[in-house]
Structure 1
Amino acid sequence: MTQTIDATTHQQLAAIVQAARERRAEDVTVLDLTEVSTTLDYFVIATATAGLQLNAVQENIREQAMAAGMGRPSVEGPSERWLLLAFGASIVVHLMTREAREYYDLEGLWSDARVMDFPE
């Protein structure tokens, strides 16, 4: 059974995806975890270079998310490889370097999750 996403959540995810792309994050992927997890709803995973780009992407996501009516996220990190922004358990954003993304392989770990399409 596929769960239908509500319009507000879809708009919030779209704002996050767009904010990441505005700062040239690559391979922005949204995973719908609602059918495969009892505690998490959505992952947004994006690739950025270390340092300045990770911070620029993170800042733009925070600004755009707040403009879309979301609260301030909790931030784990920062590190030079992986930064996590959590908007509660609803939406968790993973900003990773290519090396960290390949090593941790979140898409492989959550391969049962549905990949959502947000065209550019």
Structure 2
Amino acid sequence: MADASRALDIVLASLDDSKAENIISINIQKKSSLGDYMVVASGRSNRHVSAAADHLIKALKDAGLGMPKVEGLNSADWVLIDAGDIIVHVFRPEVREFYNIEKMWQTPDLDEETVH
């Protein structure tokens, strides 16, 4: 958990440094085995999304957290960076609004008793 918390701090600092917008961190530990945290952020343009993603990849590598898996960097509409415990999505604003993935992950957990 300490590693995930440290990685989250690095991710958030890097995105902030890159002037990413509307940065949201979601704790998904009890919702998914994909990771501990999901971070969603926006860039103002394809170029900004690409630059923020590149900056983050370098920050993770420089911090000794290895080379994350990256998808979508060529088009830079939506870049997914899988850093193990942290899953990062960097979107152009209109693409983020269309998919609205943070809404899906921020929903409260259902009680098992109410699921049929």
Q: Compute the RMSD of aligned alpha carbons.
A: 1.8
The structure that has the greater radius of gyration is 2
Pick which of 92-101 and 103-112 moved more. 103-112
After the TM superposition, which segments of 4 or more aligned residues of structure 1 sit over 4 Å from their partners?
Answer: none
Q: Does 1:92 align with 2:94?
A: no
SS of the equivalent of 1:36 reads: coil
SS of the equivalent of 2:34 reads: coil
Using the aligned pairs only, state the percent identity. Answer: 28
For residue 18 of structure 2, the aligned residue among 15, 19, 23 is 23
**What are the within-5 Å matches in structure 2 for residues 40-55 of structure 1?**
40-55=35-50
- Following superposition, the deviation at residue 112 of structure 1 comes to 3.0
How far, CA to CA, are the matches of 2:5 and 2:64 in structure 1? 12
How far, CA to CA, are the matches of 2:68 and 2:34 in structure 1? 17
Q: Which runs of 5+ in 2 are unaligned?
A: 109-116
Does the CA-based 8 Å contact 2:26-2:106 persist in structure 1?
Answer: no
Cα deviations across residues 74-116 of structure 1 (Å, max 9, x unaligned)? 111122411111113x211100011111111111111236xxx
Does the CA-based 8 Å contact 1:48-1:54 persist in structure 2?
Answer: yes
Alignment size in residue pairs: 108
1:93 aligned partner, one-letter code: V
| Structure having the larger proportion of residues in helix | 2
How far, CA to CA, are the matches of 1:38 and 1:8 in structure 2? 16
- 1:3 is matched with none
TM-score (norm 2): 0.83
**Using a 3 Å threshold, how does the CA distance of structure 1 residues 110 and 75 change in structure 2: closer, same or farther?**
same
Q: Which runs of 5+ in 1 are unaligned?
A: 1-5, 114-120
